[in-house]
Amino acid sequence: MRLLNAAELLDIWEAGRVVTPSRRSLLLLSAVYPEEREVLANMPIGGLNARLLRLRVQLFGSTLNCLASCPECNAPIEAAFGIDGLLSHAIEPMPEENATHSLTHEGYTVDFRLPTAADLLAIVDKPSTKAAGGLVERLIDKSLHQGEVVSTPELPGQVLEALERQISELDPLAHIELNLTCPECRNDWLEVFHVIDFLWLEVGNMAKRLLFEVARLASAFGWSEREILALSPERRRSYLELLEV
């Protein structure tokens, strides 16, 4: 993974402001893994999430501090999670070519592949009621029942549920859930953790801090944005401290 400099981080943040989370993931990851730019969109989602988690460690450290509220008593919860623990579930090496897998359940055989960012981008404009079905259609290559081909809309619900379970087992980092406990009422629940949404908030905060630093230093010293962003973070901070004196 290569390091992002301040100017690149601002460019990515600007380009990612009005796009979907999948596009944001691809923007960030193609900048830090340029050698994988061509394959990222067709990599299983868990592979992208593992890379986003590693980028998060590089940019902001390995502890996730999460805020949530208890679904039972509404108490605010603060919890810390180590990214190393989440990454221990990563399947690696994640195949670049998305392989075909097979599920056998209740007499049905379903050939399928794991969902990718390209799949999520393909269904993003569909209404939510049709999006899930659209995704399943894209993932299933062929289904058979007693030797007869079965179309995806004809598959029984329990086969689709088994398929969902198998996808989670094959790519555990595609859907991350954090185990939270309420300190007030001891209620336990699983909170879905969207890596890109969490990371994007942090990237946004960092971008706004950088813009503040540029504005402050430019107005004090007359330097250009490019000159200020080329300074090391320590050098920028030292100049800002001079202005506070």
Binding site for Zn ion (CB under 5 A): 70, 72-73, 75, 182, 184-185, 187
CB of 190 to Zn ion, least distance (A): 14
CA dist list (Å): 227 to 210, 220, 222, 231:
13, 13, 10, 7
Question: Could you give the CA distance from residue 177 to residue 55 in angstroms, rounded to a whole number?
Answer: 19
Closest contact distance (angstroms) between CB of 132 and Zn ion is 30
User: Which CB sits closer to Zn ion, 33 or 189?
Assistant: 189
Strand 188-193, strand 140-145: pairing: unpaired
From the CB of 176, what's the least distance to Zn ion, in Å?
22
CA gyration radius, the chain: 22
Nearer of residues 72 and 154 to Zn ion, judged by Cβ: 72
d(CA 100, CA 233): 46
3 state SS of 97: coil
- Between 96 and 191, name the residue whose CB sits nearer to Zn ion: 191
Q: Sort residue 150 into left (φ over 0), alpha (ψ -120 to 50) or beta.
A: beta
Q: How far is the CB of 185 from Zn ion (least distance, A)?
A: 3
Residues written for the chain: 245
Cβ closer to Zn ion: 186 or 209? Answer: 186
Q: Shortest distance, CB of residue 77 to Zn ion, whole angstroms?
A: 8
Residue 150 and residue 142: Cα distance in Å, rounded?
8
Q: Do 122 and 21 touch, CB atoms closer than 8 A?
A: no
**What are the residues facing 104 on neighbouring strands?**
109
Quick one: 189 or 223, whose CB is closer to Zn ion?
189
C-beta closer to Zn ion: residue 154 or 184: 184
CB of 48 to Zn ion, least distance (A): 33
